[in-house]
Amino acid sequence: MNESHKKIVGSYLANLQMELLMAKFRKLTSTWSAEGRVDSFCRLYYIVNGEGSLKIEDREYDPKPGQMFLIPGDTRLSYANISDNTFTKFWCHFNVKVGSHQLFQLLKLPYRIEVDNPAYVIHLFSELVDAHERNERMTAPIKARAMMFGLFTYYLDKTAEQAVLRSSSSSKTQFDEILQYIEEHLAEPLTLERLGKVFNYNPNYFIRYFKSMFNMSPNHYIGMARIEKAKKLLVHTDMPLQEVASEVGLERYYFSKLFKQSTMYSPSEYRRINR
C-alpha cells in the first residue's frame, strides 16, 4: 500500500460510524439455508465448530473453526448445512459508514481471515452479545460500539495492507483526489474558494459534499491533517519548530497554540516525549 493510499484509507477509518443491529451465539438449526440473498446490512461470522457451506458472490468457501468472515451489505450470499454437525458460531449484523457513505462502497476487504487469537475474539463477541441482549443497561450502546470496533480492528490487523483495496466508484475517486490535493498542499493556504475552484465546485456545495463523506467541515479536516503531519516531522526529523510550522502552512505562534489544543503538549514537549 503506497503512502497516499494508506493516508486515504486511514482517513476513512478515522471517521467510521458503526451501528450494531443484532448479535448472537448459537448452534444453527437444521433449516439454516439461503440461496442468493442480498441484504443491506453487513455480517460478521466467527466459526467455533461444525461444518456447512458458504458462497459469497461467485466464490465458494468451506468454513472451518477458527475462521472469521466479513460479508459487506449488498453482497450476494448463499449458505446451507451439509450434515447434522451444523455450525456453532458467533455472528452479528451491523452497519458501518464514513459520513453518509457505506464503508464498503469505499473499501474492499477479503471476505475471510484466519483467527490466531481465538480467546480474544471469543471475548469480544461474548461481550458484544451481552451488550445486545442486556440493552436496558445505560452503558450497553457504548459497550456494543467498543466491542464492534475491537472486532473490526482485529479483522483489519489480520488483513495484509495490500489486500485493502479502494473501490472504483467515480465519487470515491473524486474524493480521493481532494484528500490527496489537501495532503500535498498543506504548506499553502487552503481556502474553500481555492478548493472549490480546483475541483469545480461552488464553495458552499464543496462544504456539503465534504461533510457528506466525513461528517466534518473541510477546515476541520485540514487542521487535523496539519497536526498529523507536524507530529511526524517533530518525531522523525530535526527540523526547527519554525520550519515545521511552515511545512504545515501555519504561523509559528498559531501552530504552537493549535498543536497544544490538539495534543495537550507543546510541539517541543511532544518531540521530547516521543523521541
CATH code: domain of residue 108: 2.60.120.280
Query: Count of CB atoms within 10 A of residue 153's CB?
Result: 13
pLDDT by 10s per residue, the chain, length 275: 556 667 778 778 888 889 999 999 999 999 999 999 999 999 999 999 999 999 999 999 999 999 999 999 999 999 999 999 999 999 999 999 887 778 888 888 999 999 999 999 999 999 999 999 998 899 999 999 999 999 999 999 999 766 676 665 545 667 778 888 999 999 999 999 999 999 999 999 999 988 887 778 999 999 999 999 999 999 999 999 999 999 999 999 999 999 999 999 999 999 999 98
Q: Among 166, 192, 213, give the residue marking a domain's end.
A: 166
Write out the H or E segment, with its range, that includes residue 247: helix 241-247
User: Which of 108, 132, 166 corresponds to the end of one domain?
Assistant: 166
pLDDT of residue 11: 76
Do 111 and 223 fall within a single domain? no
- Domain termination residue (choose one: 166, 200, 226): 166
Q: Is the pTM of this model over 0.85?
A: no
Query: In angstroms, rounded to a whole number, what is the distance separating the alpha carbons of residues 188 and 201?
Result: 20
Q: What share of the chain is helix, strand, coil (3-state, %, to 5)?
A: 50, 20, 30
Q: Are residues 106 and 193 in the same domain?
A: no
Name the helix (H) or strand (E) containing 54.
Answer: strand 53-56
- Give the residue numbers spanning the domain of 237: 170-274
Report the alpha-carbon distance of residue 75 to residue 199 in Å, rounded: 32
Domain count, the chain: 2
Domain shared by 36 and 128, yes or no: yes
Is residue 16 domain-shared with residue 141, that is, in the same domain?
yes
Tell me 140's DSSP state.
H
- 25 and 113 inside one domain: yes
How many Å is the maximal CA-CA distance in the chain? 70
